[in-house]
Amino acid sequence: HQSSNGSAEIHIEIPEIKFTKLFINGEFVHSIKGRTFETLDPRTGEAIARIAEGDKDDIDVAVKAAREAFDHGPWPRMPGSQRARIMHKFADLIEQHAEELAALDCIDAGKLFFRGKAVEIPSAVGMLRYYAGAADKIHGDVLKSTRSLHAYTLKEPIGVVGQIIPWNYPTIMFFMKVAPALAAGCTMVVKPAEQTPLSALFYANLAKQAGIPNGVLNVVTGFGRTTGAAISNHMDIDMVSFTGSTEVGRLIMQAAATSNLKTVSLELGGKSPLIIFDDADVGNAAELALNAVVFNKGEICVAGSRVYVHEGIYDEFVKKLAEKAEAWKLGDPFDPSTCQGPQVDKRQFEKVLSYIDIGMKEGATLLTGGKRWGSKGYYIEPTVFVDVKEDMRIATDEIFGPVMSLMKFRTIEEAIERANSSKYGLAAGIVTKDLNVANRVLRSIRSGIIWINCYFEFDSDFPYGGYKLSGFGRDSGLEGLQKYLQVKTVVTPLHDSPW
């Protein structure tokens, strides 16, 4: 029941796995077919627990419960302030279990335990409270008319929502989707990623304790091709909100189109540029750049994986970056001194290593890393390639691992053009002290978020989402609430009505 790293003894309770079944209509139930799958600990590759494997028939039952809760239940009908009270209670319960929840994400996804406890679980709580605050402020507009009409809009919850969640942020992604949908008065069927189902089931239990009515929040664990596809193909789901790969995003949109034309929101892949100008403090910029790509082991859709450095500081930057990458500490994610834990699973681990291989074959030069770290689990050294060309696959493809492609640029026009050359458009970073340069670049770059002299600054009030193949629709912020609302226009005559 503890993890130790030789130097400092660490005593973290590995939590008992309490919830392994599907959560439908307020109850934990076996899947109809009775099948289960293993969820693995990426620190060792060993099984943690067997989880119920949902399928199309389980999704059908969950959707029925969500539909009933939407059509006849109290959730969409109660005042927003009452939903807010329940959401705050849900948030309180999460706060009380922060350590256990951080430990679940740590063993399931290889995420840093202390960061989870101090930052990620509190951010999820913050998101619930942010949207609880919005729940009683949802209203439409009074409209102008050229004729004698009184017209206004009503904002109504969109209905039953299918929420398909990725494995890199099992907690934050869950609440980025669930919290606004709850505030809007929707009911939902959530499918966590098969790699990381543990915390989602725990949240389902807390939602029940908080008083969220049965059928409002259902969690069906299972695989993408079966359980996930059953959501996107379903005839009685009104909207599907997805975060994951561009490839799967296309399948979801196709399924929505050929089933019931459900509304689709897609937050997909990225290959985000970070542009560092020659007035930057080189040491700080190298630190920022390293962090932008190895943070959360590079398993983050907004990772700054293409780094463009001005030729005037390039050589010094490379030297500083190499020093910082060497000092970056891999290890057990329960260890407070660890900067980077293991990749989520064997498939991702092998995918990242194969891209490192591709980079070498394409002729890029390895500056640091390039190998597995240790002999157990799915750890990969922070890897930096220099002499990267724009058309190399390591510069065009989303690797989703701690792999940086470093490139040199000369002019601002060139930096803009190369930053925009990607098929993706999720995020970008700029490092410069020159406001005019920053303004010019930020307005020219086609991406959903731009960080200037920082990276990965998140907040509940900030909308996230993509341009181009990074998808459409926004999560988080008030934009993230609007997508769970329908607009109904109401028109009545102002004068001389015969009725």
Residues labelled catalytic: 267
User: What minimum distance in Å lies between the beta carbon of 348 and ligand ADP?
Assistant: 7
Long-range CB contacts (within 8 A, 24+) of 337-341: 337/5, 337/8, 338/5, 338/112, 339/112, 339/294, 340/112, 340/294, 340/297, 340/379, 340/382, 340/402, 341/42, 341/43, 341/106, 341/110, 341/111, 341/112, 341/297, 341/379
- Asked whether 97 and 206 are in contact (CB, 8 A), the reply is yes
Residue 371 interacts with ligand ADP (CB under 6 A)?
Answer: no
- Asked whether 55 and 33 are in contact (CB, 8 A), the reply is yes
Whole-angstrom Cα distance, residue 78 to residue 183? 11
User: What minimum distance in Å lies between the beta carbon of 193 and ligand ADP?
Assistant: 4
Residues of this chain, 72-131, that bind ligand ADP according to CB under 6 A: none
- Only segment of 200-208, 217-225, 381-389, 458-466 that touches ligand ADP (CB under 6 A): 217-225
Residue 232 interacts with ligand ADP (CB under 6 A)?
Answer: yes
Whole-angstrom Cα distance, residue 434 to residue 414? 17
- Only segment of 48-56, 125-133, 136-144, 245-253 that touches ligand ADP (CB under 6 A): 245-253
Tell whether the torsion through CA atoms of 110, 112, 114 and 120 is positive or negative.
negative
- Asked whether 381 and 403 are in contact (CB, 8 A), the reply is no
CB closer to ligand ADP out of 301 and 485: 301
What distance lies between CA 410 and its chain's CA centroid?
34
- Only segment of 68-76, 148-156, 172-180, 189-197 that touches ligand ADP (CB under 6 A): 189-197
CB atoms within 10 A of CB 47: 11
Whole-angstrom Cα distance, residue 63 to residue 59? 6
Task: Candidates 109, 164, 220, 384: give the one binding ligand ADP (CB under 6 A).
Answer: 164
The beta strand positions in 394-478, using DSSP E, are 403-409, 424-425, 427-431, 449-452, 467-468, 471-472
Report in angstroms the alpha-carbon separations of 24 from 12, 67, 83, 274: 32, 12, 20, 43
Residue 250 interacts with ligand ADP (CB under 6 A)?
Answer: no
CB closer to ligand ADP out of 56 and 440: 56
Residue 220 interacts with ligand ADP (CB under 6 A)?
Answer: no
Give the binding-site size for ligand ADP (rule: CB under 6 A): 17
Residue 165 interacts with ligand ADP (CB under 6 A)?
Answer: yes
- Only segment of 223-231, 275-283, 315-323, 372-380 that touches ligand ADP (CB under 6 A): 223-231
Residue 18 interacts with ligand ADP (CB under 6 A)?
Answer: no
- Only segment of 12-20, 63-71, 78-86, 241-249 that touches ligand ADP (CB under 6 A): 241-249
CB closer to ligand ADP out of 3 and 195: 195
Residue 286 interacts with ligand ADP (CB under 6 A)?
Answer: no
Residue 193 interacts with ligand ADP (CB under 6 A)?
Answer: yes
User: What minimum distance in Å lies between the beta carbon of 183 and ligand ADP?
Assistant: 23
CB closer to ligand ADP out of 82 and 396: 396
Task: Candidates 54, 197, 215, 228: give the one binding ligand ADP (CB under 6 A).
Answer: 228
Residue 296 is given by DSSP the state G
Residue 170 interacts with ligand ADP (CB under 6 A)?
Answer: no
For the chain, the 3-state helix, strand and coil shares in percent, each to the nearest 5, are 40, 20, 40
Residue 377 interacts with ligand ADP (CB under 6 A)?
Answer: no
Rg (CA), the chain: 24
- Only segment of 124-132, 202-210, 244-252, 361-369 that touches ligand ADP (CB under 6 A): 244-252
**Cα first-last separation, the chain:** 74
Helix (H, G, I), strand (E, B) or coil at 105: helix
Q: Among all residues, whose Cβ is closest to ligand ADP?
A: 224
Residue 224 interacts with ligand ADP (CB under 6 A)?
Answer: yes
CB closer to ligand ADP out of 224 and 477: 224
- Asked whether 452 and 438 are in contact (CB, 8 A), the reply is yes
Residues of this chain, 311-350, that bind ligand ADP according to CB under 6 A: none
CB closer to ligand ADP out of 55 and 95: 55
Q: Which residues bind ligand ADP (CB under 6 A)?
A: 164-166, 191, 193-194, 223-225, 228-229, 232, 244-245, 248, 251-252
